[in-house]
Amino acid sequence: MANREDEWIQILRKNIRLFNGKGWSIRGIKSGKLKKLQITHRIDDGLQHENPRESILTSIEFVQQNSPDIQTLIKDLHDLINERKVSLVEAYKITTGNSESKIKTKSLGGWIAHAKAYKETKSDRRESTLKDLNFRLELACNVLNAQPKPRNSKDFYLKLKKQYFDKAKKPNGEIKNPKGGNGRLRICNDIAAFLKYSVLEKGENTRWLAPDSTWRRENIIQTNDKDNEPKVPLKSQELVNFMNILEKEGKHSFRLVVGLMGCFGLRPAEIGAMYPERGVLKIGTVKRNKQSMQKKKSPPKKVSAVDPEGLEGEGNKLVMRYEMGELQLPLAVKNAIATGNYKKVGNAIRQIWNRHWYIKQLNKNRKKGERYVPYSCRHGFSYRLHCEVENRFDVREIAKLMRHKPKTHMENYNEWVDEESLEILIKNIRYRSPVAA
C-alpha cells in the first residue's frame, strides 16, 4: 500500500497532467540534506519512448506543502514553451530569473557574424539601401549584445523601442522615428528579416523569430493609437476651394479622387475597391482584421453622396463621367490598384496629395498630427453631416453612410458635438403626435 508521501505525489502528478497534458514528470533529487524538485519535459516528436527530453533541477524543495507552488511553476513553464517556443531551461530562467540550472544554454554570441553574412545576401541592392541596412543591422547587434541581454525577440524589440525609438532625436529636438512613422516600420521589418535569417540559416534558437506584425505594430511601431490621433476634417469650403483649383489646373484625374473621397466619404484605400454600376457607386471590402478575415467577405456596398454647398450634384456627376470613361484615375493610383495591395493605393494618393501647393499652404505652421491628409476628406464628410447641414443626421444614419458601427463612430467623432450644437438640438425638440387608438 502506498505511504502518505506517495499519495500526495500521485495527486500532484495527476493535477499536472490534467492542466498541462502529457509529457511532464517530476521527482525529488537529493541535494545535501534536502530533496529538490526536478522537472522533466518530453517533447512530442512522434517517436514515443525515443522522444527527446529536457530536465531542470529547481531550487524548490520537494515537499507536500510546496505542491501549489510546483503546480503554478509547471503551468507557467508550459505556457511559455508553447507561446514563445523556448526550451524548458529558457522558460525556467524567464519565470524565476534563476541562473543556477544544471544545464548550460547556448550563448547569445555570434550576432555580428550573422549580420555580416546576412549583408552578403543583399549585396545586389542599391548603395542607399545597403547604407540603411548597415545602420539597422548595427543597431540590432548593439541592442542584442548590450547588458542585460534580451531573453527573446519580444524582449529585444521592447529594448529597441526604449533605447532607440523613444530617445533618438533630430538636431531640432524632434523624435527621429515618431510613433506610426515609416522609419519605425522599415527598421522593424528589416530586423525581423535578419532575425529570421539568423534562426533558419545560422541555427539560432526559434525564440529569436520576430513577433508577428500585429504585435510589432501595436507595441513598437504604435500605429493604432487611435485615441490620440487627431481627426482633422477638410471642411466644405476647403473642399470646394480644392476642387475648383484642381479644375482650373486641369488635374482632372486627381480631382476625381478628391471628389469621391470628399462627396462619398471614402477611405483613400477604397478608391482601389470602388466601381460605378449604372450611375451608382459601389465599394468592396478593404478594411480587414484578424476577426473579419475569419468571416465570409461581405458583398459590395452602395454608397451615397452628400455634396458640400457649392458642389451640389458633383458626386454623382463624377461617378457618371468615370463610368463613361471621360475621367480616369491618376496613373500612380492605377498602378497601385494593379498590385492588389490597398495600402499601396492609399500611399499613392497621399504622395500626390502632399505635393500639391494648396495642401502645403493649408498645412503651413501645423504640427504633424494636425495636418490635412487624404483621410481628412472622409472626416470632412462626417463633419458636414454633424455640423454643417441644417437637417442634421442621427449618429446611426451617419455611421451607416460611412460603413462602420455607431460605437466606432462615437469613439472617433464625438469631439465634434459641441455645447452650442447640443443647445440648438434641445431647443428644436419636436414630439410626435399621439397615434389614435
* pLDDT per position as a tens digit, 60-84: 888 888 888 898 889 888 888 888 8
For residue 58, count CB atoms less than 10 angstroms from its CB and return exposed for 0-12, middle for 13-18, buried for 19 or more. Answer: buried
Nearest 5°: the CA angle 233, 283, 408 is 50
pLDDT at 295: 52
Rounded Cα gap, residues 93 and 95, in angstroms: 5
pLDDT band at 46 (very low <50, low <70, confident <90, very high): low
Residues belonging to the chain: 437
Tell me: pLDDT of 264 over 90: yes
Q: For 204-284, where are the E strands, in sequence order?
A: 274-277, 280-283
pLDDT at 124: 85
pLDDT at 3: 53
Taking every pair of C-alpha atoms in the chain, what is the biggest distance, in angstroms? Answer: 99
pLDDT at 293: 40
* Residue predicted with more confidence, 153 or 106: 153
Only one residue has cell 504622395, namely 351
pLDDT at 44: 65
Does the reported pTM lie above 0.75?
no
CA 331 to chain centre: 29
Find out whether 12 and 71 touch, Cβ atoms under 8 Å.
yes
Tell me: pLDDT of 104 over 60: no
Mean pLDDT of 327-352: 90
Mean pLDDT of 25-47: 79
pLDDT digits (tens, 9 = 90+) for 271-288: 999 999 998 999 887 754
The highest-confidence range among 16-25, 170-179, 381-390, by mean pLDDT, is 16-25
Helix (H) or strand (E) run with residue 58 in it = strand 53-61
pLDDT band at 191 (very low <50, low <70, confident <90, very high): very high
Average pLDDT of the chain to the nearest whole number? 81
Based on C-alpha coordinates, what's the Rg of the chain? 30
pLDDT at 425: 56
* Residue predicted with more confidence, 273 or 102: 273
pLDDT at 49: 55
Tell me: pLDDT of 102 over 60: no
Q: How many CA atoms lie within 13 A of 51 on its CB side?
A: 15
Please give the single-letter amino acid code of residue 112. Answer: I
Residue partners of 240: CB distance under 8 A and separation at least 6: 308, 309, 310, 311
Mean pLDDT of 253-258: 96
pLDDT at 127: 85
Q: What percent of the chain has pLDDT over 90?
A: 29
* Residue predicted with more confidence, 288 or 349: 349
